[in-house]
Structure 1
Amino acid sequence: MKNISKWLGNALNILMAFSLLFMCILVLGNVILRYVFDSGITWSEEMSRFLFVWMIFLGSIGALKDNEHLGVEMLVKRLPPSMKKIAYIISHVLILFALLLILQGSWKLILLNMDSNAPATGIRMSYVYAIGIIMSLGMALVVMIKMYKVLLRKSAIDKAVRMKESEEEMLGPVYEKRQTLSGGNQP
């Protein structure tokens, strides 16, 4: 299971890296062509926009998997483990509900745009909107796996709710070194 998760995470990262690389090549190439040769690639801006959207949506799956999304832990970190587990389950059920709404909305967009093509690239817009389905299903899978782990393991809640107490704890040795060098006067 860990190998599959690691492989999928690496595949997502590679796909996002290629998207970013292709976007940079398209934009840079278009800028050079416009300024040097007074012409450009007509579809590069549109393709870059589509790649950017896909990259962000794919990145959100990886961010959820690695607990890198923005979170507010002010209340949760003060709860006992049993209440943390309940709060965790409630929040993940709400996430699943939001993902269901995204899935339904993406499906409707795909159906509405089956016959529409992007003006410059000619790509079917239904392919562009398909990322909503991919993202919502991918994130739902991650959420269900996390909920499964938390429900079946007693110690899993502390690993699942990885929250840092403060900036000092997040930065660790970097913060301590900065404090030592500044004589403790740095905030």
Structure 2
Amino acid sequence: MSVSRLCTRLIEALIVFLLVFMVVIVFANVVLRYGFNSGIHLSDELSRYAFVWLTFLGAIVTFRENAHVNIETLVSRFGRRGRLVCMGLTQGVVMICAAAMVMGTLRLHPLNATMKATVSGIPMSWVSDVLGVCGAGIFLIAAVRLVAILTGRISQSELDAFAGQNLSEDHQ
């Protein structure tokens, strides 16, 4: 198993854990509120922060699998060379945006580390730092793709996925 696939599996496992955590804590809170006139004070805050992490970790996995929103109408009309150029330009733009996310997170980290969550008291940097994690993950994926494009090692299946052509469309 490649390092990339292993990292993806770990992120997917963390996403599943966060989703299960959210369901359990919110369900337990509902049962306690309506059944026992009690509740878990941290449930709203922790489930909200888990959802933020789940969303940004999901963005990494989505980007790796080329399942993000993509404008395929024009790219699908190009041949291999045109697709390579578009994919290369796209990866460059994505790398710039992802680097901006990482740099912004690093600049805001000291401020967010001093701010505390209202109920739990955890530093807000624990919540906001997922932006840097997401940006770094997406940057690395885009960089690997760009290197593959520039060295001619990009697979036809990756190029087809970028152009919005997948197996389900071929069988229709």
Instruction: Compute the TM-score of the two structures, normalised by the length of structure 1.
Output: 0.84
Query: Counterparts of 1:47 and 1:86 in 2: how far apart (Å)?
Result: 43
Following TM superposition, by how much is the alpha carbon of 1:165 offset from its aligned partner in structure 2, in angstroms? Answer: 5.0
Q: Deviations over 1:15-46 (max 9, x none)?
A: 00000000000000000000011111011110
Residue 166 of structure 1 and its aligned partner are, at CA, apart by: 8.9
- Which amino acid in structure 1 is aligned with residue 156 of structure 2? D
- Counterpart in the other structure of 1:94: 93
* Cα offsets for 1:131-158 (capped at 9, x unmatched): 011110111001111111122126x263
CA root-mean-square deviation = 2.0
Deviations 1:54-106 (A, max 9, x none): 01111111111111111111111111211211111111111111112212222
In the alignment, which residue of structure 2 is the partner of 1:183? none
3-state DSSP of counterpart to 1:39: coil
- Looking at structure 1, the residues matched to 2 and 80 of structure 2 have their Cα atoms a distance apart, in angstroms, of 29
The answer as to 2:156 corresponding to 1:158 is yes
> Does the CA contact (< 8 Å) of 1:85 and 1:157 recur in 2?
no
Unaligned runs of 5+ in 1: 176-187
* 2:129 paired residue number: 130
CA distance in 2 between partners of 1:137 and 1:164 (Å): 25
* Structure 2 equivalent of residue 74 of structure 1: 73
1:126 deviation in Å? 1.1
In the alignment, structure 1 residue 29 sits paired with structure 2 residue 11 = no
Consecutive unaligned residues in structure 2, runs of 5 or more:
none
Letter in 1 for 2:169: E
Aligned to 2:53: 54
Moved more, 91-100 or 106-115: 106-115
Number of residue pairs the alignment of both structures matches:
170
| Residue matched to 2:110 | 111
Structure number with the bigger relative contact order (C-alpha 8 A, sep ≥ 6) is: 2
The answer as to whether partners of 1:146 and 1:160 remain within 8 angstroms in 2 is: no
**Comparing 161-170 and 135-144, the one that deviates more:** 161-170
Equivalent AA in structure 2 for residue 160 of structure 1: E
Amino acid of the structure 2 residue aligned with 1:3: S
Amino acid in the other structure paired with 1:96: M
How far apart, in 2, do the equivalents of 1:152 and 1:159 lie?
A: 16
User: Residues 155-176 of structure 1, C-alpha deviation per residue, up to 9 Å, x if partnerless?
Assistant: x263223144599717x4xx6x
Q: Provide the rounded CA distance (Å) in 2 between the counterparts of 1:159 and 1:165.
A: 9
Question: Is the alpha carbon distance of 1:167 and 1:158 closer, same or farther for their aligned partners in structure 2, counting shifts above 3 Å?
Answer: closer
